[in-house]
Structure formats: structure tokens, C-alpha cells
Amino acid sequence: MSAPIDQAVWTNLIEMTGGDVEFVDDLVDTYLADGERQVAALREAAAGGSADDLVRPAHSLKSSSLNVGALDLGALCRALEESARTGKVPDATQQVTAIATGFDEVRSALLAERAERAAG
């Protein structure tokens, strides 16, 4: 598996904000806080067995992940969203677990990047 954060998208994000790293830090915090909520919502939906309830959290986590450069996580979310839209997700629990793991890796990578920046 490649790095949790795509370097090109990440660089682009920083450029988009005009190099305002404080804002990027804020943005990352927003992403992480919301991401945690979406992962929790996915877990609940998988446990409840409702494919419908998977759609929105998967969709939401997908779009913010893609923007933050978490392309693999975004792809996982997209796959889940698509199958959830069909109404049947036999391996929902497995998919959600993969997403949760992916999100944890993304979080570690983002926080490590911030720590590096602070140190460097």
C-alpha cells in the first residue's frame, strides 16, 4: 500500500491556501474530528445491518479524504458508498473495519507531518 497521504494533493492543498499552514492545521483538525464521527456512523450502520445508513457517512468521508490527499481511504469509501447504494453490502463489517484502519493511518500520517513541520 502506498503512503496514506498523496504528496501531490497535499502540496496542492497547501498551495491552495496560499501556504497558510495554520489554516491547513485547522482544516486537518476539522477533517479528523468529522472523520471520527463518520467512522463511528459507519460502524453503527454496519452493526445495524442497514445498507442505506452506510451511504451518507461513506460519501462524506470520501469527499473530504480525497481533498486532503487520502486517496486510498477515499477509494475505500467510494467502494462502500457504491455498494451501499445498491442496497446490499454483504461484507459491510469488513469494509468498515478497513476504512477505520485506513482512517487511523491517515490520522497518524497527518499528525506526523504536523510534528515534523513543527520540529523542522
For residues 101 and 37, the answer to whether their CB atoms sit within 8 Å is no
Nearest Cα to Cα of residue 61 among 45, 75, 47? 75
Q: Angle of helix 52-68 relative to helix 21-48, nearest 10 degrees?
A: 160
**Ordered alpha helix ranges (H), the chain:** 7-16, 21-48, 52-68, 71-86, 92-119
Which one, 27 or 109, has the nearer CB to another protein?
27
Residue 14 has phi, psi (to 5 degrees) of -65, -40
Interactions with another protein, residue window 49-78 (CB under 8 A): 55-56, 59-60, 62-64, 66-68, 78
Q: Judged by CB under 8 A, which of 7, 16, 47, 112 binds another protein?
A: 16
Which one, 16 or 112, has the nearer CB to another protein?
16
Which one, 62 or 95, has the nearer CB to another protein?
62
114 binds another protein (CB under 8 A): no
Q: Judged by CB under 8 A, which of 4, 5, 10, 31 binds another protein?
A: 31
Q: CB of residue 117 vs another protein: minimum separation in angstroms?
A: 19
Interactions with another protein, residue window 85-104 (CB under 8 A): none
